[in-house]
């Protein structure tokens, strides 16, 4: 053999060994077959993944490898048939799951001369996917349990303070509980202003003394002064013979919460200002003042600054009330509280009505994304309605939507004219429907009067006329 031939042979042998080393170093299994499907090379990784000995199948045709039961399918044969790259998945006797890709190599005439098969072991990846899914489910469960624990920990009365916004409210309330300064709590209807007021009282040194909550808009104007300040015997016609202490006196040593403080008539505002300044009251018909030690918290959903500018609320009283100001955010601005609130109310109404109803995840998502213009009060009312109306224990998305649609339909004012009526009758029918709609939205008759643009006395008279009762 010529020297040049020997050198070339040595070079090719070295190249072959290098190629074998490269093939065996691959983490993926590699099989190389010729254009007839005969196995030429098998990597060590292929043995590890499939459990098929390389020395056994090397030189065999892939059809025989299948017949002998070493593998159930051959991507090599599929590549030879389709003349293109093919990918299949296969599970081997070792229990390993693999993704197998066969790629053809063509000569200059377009004939397949080699098929290179890559066997990627997916077992570890599948296990990692399972572990990841398990970890995610575990994390989700822990997060749910954590939310519930946080909700229980932060549930003070019916205050749910999971969100950053409500935690800031409670922090402000907690700080204010350490003093006797007057507090003004603002926020839309239904956000829970009264609950924040109760929280302040419960955390204060006055918590062993009375907490008196007065809805200033629910008491008729002519009675409000006597209810707040009390009266002496014979102070006016119809008064009790022995007289009566007012609500401010009854709160002595404790806390007086003036809910809907914007509805106070100006004459009562004057007397309230005097009480805040002097820490004493005058009963109606009284001849001497009565010393009273009361901490005052006022709540409103109105713009008091605007009412001051309009002359409907005294500026000096506003300043007296606005020493510490706490704004309770609307529900749509503290979405982190919605799911804990739902769980809280669902548990409450399940216990109240002897049920065990649960919401699906889709139903939860629907409720979280609702705007809730009536805030927490609307959410509570909706869930009570949902528990009572629904017949199934599983409250799915369709059930929740149905109840939501029912509520929206009931809130629409609809006047049906089934037969010809006089204009007066039609007007009375419309008046009654308007009052009914306003009753659902507003807490006080004075608020109803303002919303309808009529006098308070007109609202009271119309309600009596149409047999409507405001609780």
pLDDT value of residue 10: 72
What is the C-alpha to C-alpha distance for residues 9 and 4, in angstroms, rounded to an integer? 9
> Is residue 441 predicted with pLDDT exceeding 70?
no
Residue 153 lies in a domain: no
In terms of domains, do 321 and 184 share one? yes
In terms of domains, do 313 and 342 share one? no
Q: What are phi and psi of 423, to 5 degrees?
A: -60, -35
In terms of domains, do 230 and 284 share one? yes
In terms of domains, do 284 and 377 share one? no
Burial of residue 412 (number of CB atoms within 10 Å: 0-12, 13-18, 19+)? exposed
The per-residue b/e assignment along 266-282, b for 16 or more CB within 10 angstroms, e otherwise, is eebbebbbebbeeeebb
Confidence at 247, pLDDT banded by 50, 70, 90: very high
Confidence at 157, pLDDT banded by 50, 70, 90: low
Residue 111 lies in a domain: yes
Domain end (from 104, 121, 138): 121
Confidence at 149, pLDDT banded by 50, 70, 90: low
Q: Strands across the sheet with 255-259, in order?
A: 211-215, 255-259, 295-300, 183-186, 324-327
Q: What CATH number is attached to the domain comprising 389?
A: 1.10.8.60
The DSSP line for 18-68 is HHHHHHHH-SSEEEEEETTSBEEEE-HHHHHHH---HHHHTTSBHHHHHHT
pLDDT value of residue 295: 96
Residue 113 lies in a domain: yes
CA atoms within 13 A on the CB side of 20: 9
pLDDT value of residue 150: 53
pLDDT value of residue 200: 94
In terms of domains, do 204 and 279 share one? yes
3-state helix, strand, coil in the chain (%, to 5): 50, 15, 30
Confidence at 255, pLDDT banded by 50, 70, 90: very high
> Is residue 154 predicted with pLDDT exceeding 70?
no
Domain end (from 278, 310, 329): 329
Residue 442 lies in a domain: yes
Q: Which residue has the higher pLDDT, 268 or 415?
A: 268
Q: Which residue has the higher pLDDT, 13 or 247?
A: 247
Q: Which residue has the higher pLDDT, 149 or 187?
A: 187
And the tokens for 143? 């997060």
Domain count across the chain: 4
In terms of domains, do 258 and 230 share one? yes
Q: What are phi and psi of 38, to 5 degrees?
A: -85, 135
Q: What are phi and psi of 210, to 5 degrees?
A: -65, 145
Cβ of 17: how many Cβ atoms within 10 Å? Answer: 10
Residue 139 lies in a domain: no
Check: CB of residue 439 under 8 Å from CB of residue 469: no
Residue 389 lies in a domain: yes
Tell me what the mean pLDDT of segment 213-230 comes to.
Answer: 88
Domain end (from 61, 88, 121): 121
The torsion defined by the Cα of 150, 154, 156 and 159, in degrees rounded to 10, comes to -90
> Is residue 148 predicted with pLDDT exceeding 70?
no
What is the C-alpha to C-alpha distance for residues 428 and 468, in angstroms, rounded to an integer? 13
Q: What CATH number is attached to the domain comprising 261?
A: 3.40.50.300
In terms of domains, do 362 and 293 share one? no
Confidence at 53, pLDDT banded by 50, 70, 90: confident
Could you tell me what percent of the chain has a pLDDT over 70?
A: 88
Residues forming a β-bridge with 112: 106
In terms of domains, do 324 and 343 share one? no
In sequence order, which ranges of 245-286 are alpha helices (DSSP H)? 247-250, 266-278
Residue 348 lies in a domain: yes
> Is residue 98 predicted with pLDDT exceeding 90?
no
List the one residue out of 316, 315, 277 whose CA is nearest residue 296: 277
User: Positive or negative CA dihedral for 428, 434, 439, 443?
Assistant: negative
Check: CB of residue 157 under 8 Å from CB of residue 296: no
In terms of domains, do 37 and 175 share one? no
Q: What CATH number is attached to the domain comprising 104?
A: 3.30.450.20
Residue 204 lies in a domain: yes
> CA distances (Å), 265 to each of 35, 219, 249, 270, 439, in order?
100, 11, 20, 9, 21
pLDDT value of residue 380: 92
Q: What is the mean pLDDT of the chain?
A: 85
Check: CB of residue 229 under 8 Å from CB of residue 239: no
pLDDT tens profile 3-30: 666 777 776 777 777 777 777 778 888 9
- Could you tell me the residue range of the domain that residue 31 belongs to? 14-121
Tell me what the mean pLDDT of segment 99-113 comes to.
Answer: 91
In terms of domains, do 217 and 98 share one? no
What is the C-alpha to C-alpha distance for residues 176 and 204, in angstroms, rounded to an integer? 8
In terms of domains, do 188 and 46 share one? no
In terms of domains, do 248 and 172 share one? yes
Give the CA angle between residues 135, 138, 143 to the nearest 5°.
125
What is the C-alpha to C-alpha distance for residues 247 and 292, in angstroms, rounded to an integer? 11
pTM for the full model? 0.57
> Is residue 430 predicted with pLDDT exceeding 90?
no
Could you tell me what percent of the chain has a pLDDT over 90?
A: 44
Q: What are phi and psi of 99, to 5 degrees?
A: -105, 120
Token match 């599983």: residue? 394
Give the CA diameter of the chain. Answer: 141
The DSSP line for 340-379 is HHHHHHHHHHHHHHT---EE-HHHHHHHHTS--TTHHHHH
The torsion defined by the Cα of 124, 127, 133 and 137, in degrees rounded to 10, comes to -140
In this predicted structure, which of 154-163, 265-274, 345-354, 413-422 has the lowest mean pLDDT? 413-422
């Amino acid at each position: 053999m010529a020297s040049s031939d020997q050198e070339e042979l040595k070079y090719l042998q070295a190249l072959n060994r290098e190629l074998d080393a490269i093939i065996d170093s691959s983490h993926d299994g590699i099989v190389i077959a010729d254009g007839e499907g005969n196995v030429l090379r098998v990597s060590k990784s292929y043995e590890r993944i499939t459990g098929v000995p390389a020395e056994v199948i090397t030189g065999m045709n892939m059809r025989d490898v299948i017949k002998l039961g070493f593998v159930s399918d051959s991507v090599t044969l599929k590549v030879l048939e389709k003349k293109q790259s093919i990918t299949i998945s296969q599970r081997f006797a070792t229990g390993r799951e693999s993704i197998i890709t066969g790629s053809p190599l063509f000569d200059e005439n377009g004939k397949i001369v080699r098929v290179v098969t890559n066997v990627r072991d997916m077992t570890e990846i599948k296990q990692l996917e399972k572990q990841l899914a398990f970890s995610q489910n575990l994390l989700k469960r822990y997060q749910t349990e954590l939310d519930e624990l946080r909700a229980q920990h932060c549930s003070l009365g019916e205050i749910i303070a999971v969100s950053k916004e409500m935690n800031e409210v409670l922090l402000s309330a907690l700080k204010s509980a350490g003093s006797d300064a007057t507090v003004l709590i603002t926020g839309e209807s239904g956000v829970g202003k009264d609950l924040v007021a109760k929280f302040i009282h419960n955390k204060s040194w006055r918590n062993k003394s009375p907490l008196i909550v007065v809805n200033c808009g629910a008491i008729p104007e002519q009675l409000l002064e006597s209810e707040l300040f009390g009266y002496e015997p014979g102070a006016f016609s119809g008064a009790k013979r022995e007289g009566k202490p007012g609500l401010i006196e009854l709160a002595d040593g404790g806390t007086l919460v003036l809910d809907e403080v914007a509805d106070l008539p100006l004459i009562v505002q004057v007397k309230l200002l005097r009480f805040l300044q002097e820490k004493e009251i005058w009963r109606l018909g009284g001849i001497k003042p009565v010393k009273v030690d009361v901490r005052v918290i006022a709540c409103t959903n109105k713009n008091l600054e605007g009412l001051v500018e309009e002359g409907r609320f005294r500026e000096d009283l506003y300043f007296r009330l606005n020493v510490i100001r706490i704004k309770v955010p609307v529900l749509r601005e503290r979405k982190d509280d919605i799911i804990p609130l739902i769980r809280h109310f669902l548990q409450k109404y399940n216990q109240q009505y002897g049920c065990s109803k649960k919401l699906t995840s889709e139903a939860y998502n629907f409720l979280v994304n609702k705007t809730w213009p009536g805030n927490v009060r609307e959410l509570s009312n909706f869930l009570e309605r949902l528990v009572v109306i629904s017949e199934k224990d599983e409250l799915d998305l369709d059930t929740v939507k149905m109840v939501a649609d029912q509520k929206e339909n009931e809130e629409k004012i609809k006047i049906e004219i089934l037969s010809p009526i006089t204009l007066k009758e039609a007007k009375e029918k419309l008046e009654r429907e308007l009052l009914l709609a306003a009753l659902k939205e507003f807490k006080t008759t004075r608020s109803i009067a303002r919303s309808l643009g009529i006098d308070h006395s007109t609202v009271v008279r119309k309600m009596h006329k149409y047999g409507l009762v405001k609780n």
